[in-house]
Structure 1
Amino acid sequence: MKTVRQAIKYGIVGVSNTLITAVVIWILMKVAHCSDVLSNVVGYIAGVVNSFVWNKQWTFQSHAGWVKSAVRFGLVFGICYLLQLGFLFLLNAWLPIDPYYNQLIAMAFYTVINFIFNKVYTFKE
C-alpha cells in the first residue's frame, strides 16, 4: 500500500512539474521576451528542482542528505532518460505506428523506471 501511495504522490508531483515548466517557459518567452532555448532550459530546471524537492520531502519522505540525494537524482534522471531514448528508437524501428505515439509509450516507460529508481536508490537512506 505504501508503494501505491508513493506512486500517486509521484504522479501528482509529475503534473506539478509539467505545469511549472510550462508556466516558466511561457513567462520567460511572452513576458520577459527571452529566447525559446533559454526559456526551455530555465523552465526545465524549475521543473526538475520542483520534482527533486517534492519527491524527496513528500513522495518518499527521505532523510538522506540533500547533496547525496541530488547527485543520485541527477544520475537517475540521466540514466532513465537514456533508457527511454533507447526504448524510443526500438519502438520506432519495431512498431509501424505514428512516431508520436511511440513518444508517449516511451514517456510512460520513463515514468515507471524513474519512479522505481528513485524509490530504491535516489531517496534510500
Structure 2
Amino acid sequence: MNGRLLKFGAVGLLNTGADLLAFGALTAAGCPVLAAQALSYGCGMLNSYLLNRSWTFRSRAGRMQELPRFALLNLAVLAVVSWLLELLHAQAGLPLLPSKLLATGAGMLINYAGSRYWVFGARGPITEAKERDAS
C-alpha cells in the first residue's frame, strides 16, 4: 500500500468520524435520515479538500480548477452513498449503522479514485520519488 493511499485513508477516517458524529446527533434529534446524511457528509467536505490537497496529493494546481471538480465529485459520491444508504436500510432492512458504514466505505473508494485521477491529477512514481527525496 502506498503512502498516498494511507494518507487518504487517514484523512478519510477524520472525515468519517465527523460525519458519523454529526449523523448520529442529527438522527437522534429527529432529522430525517437522508437530510441527516446530506448535512453530515457536508461536515467533512471542507476538511477533506484542504487536507487532501495539501497533504495527501500535494497539489499545486489552481484552486479554480480543482474546487469545481472536488465539489462535483463529492456531490456524485454523496448521491451514491445516499442511494446505497436508502437501499441497504430502507429496502434491505439492515440496521442503520451497518448500512451507513457500508455505504460510506463504498463512497471512500469512489472518492479516492476520483480525487487521485480527476480532481488533484495523477502523478507518477518518478514525481513521487522526487518529492520523497526533496523531503
- Give the alignment's TM-score, normalised by structure 2: 0.63
Question: For the structure 1 residues 84 and 18, does the alpha-carbon distance in structure 2 shift closer, same or farther, using more than 3 Å as the test?
Answer: closer
Residue of structure 2 in register with 1:120 after alignment: 117
Residue type matched to 1:6 in 2?
R
Does the alignment pair 1:66 with 2:63? yes
User: How well do the aligned residues superpose, as a CA RMSD in angstroms?
Assistant: 3.1
Give the alignment of 1:1-125 within 5 angstroms.
4-17=2-15, 44=43, 47-92=44-89, 95-124=92-121
Give, in whole Å, the separation in 2 of the partners of 1:106 and 1:20: 16
Deviation at 1:99, TM superposition (A): 3.0
Give, in whole Å, the separation in 2 of the partners of 1:18 and 1:83: 16
Give, in whole Å, the separation in 2 of the partners of 1:15 and 1:89: 22
Deviation at 1:120, TM superposition (A): 0.9
- What is the percentage of aligned positions where both structures have the same residue? 29
Question: For the structure 1 residues 110 and 18, does the alpha-carbon distance in structure 2 shift closer, same or farther, using more than 3 Å as the test?
Answer: closer
Question: For the structure 1 residues 105 and 19, does the alpha-carbon distance in structure 2 shift closer, same or farther, using more than 3 Å as the test?
Answer: closer
Give, in whole Å, the separation in 2 of the partners of 1:97 and 1:87: 11
CA contact (8 A) 2:49 2:70 kept: yes
Equivalent residues, number: 106
Q: Where does the alignment leave 5 or more consecutive residues of structure 2 unmatched?
A: 22-38, 123-135
Deviation at 1:96, TM superposition (A): 4.1
Residue type matched to 2:112 in 1?
F
- Give the alignment's TM-score, normalised by structure 1: 0.67
CA contact (8 A) 2:15 2:47 kept: yes
- Which stretch shifts more, 6-15 or 73-82? 6-15
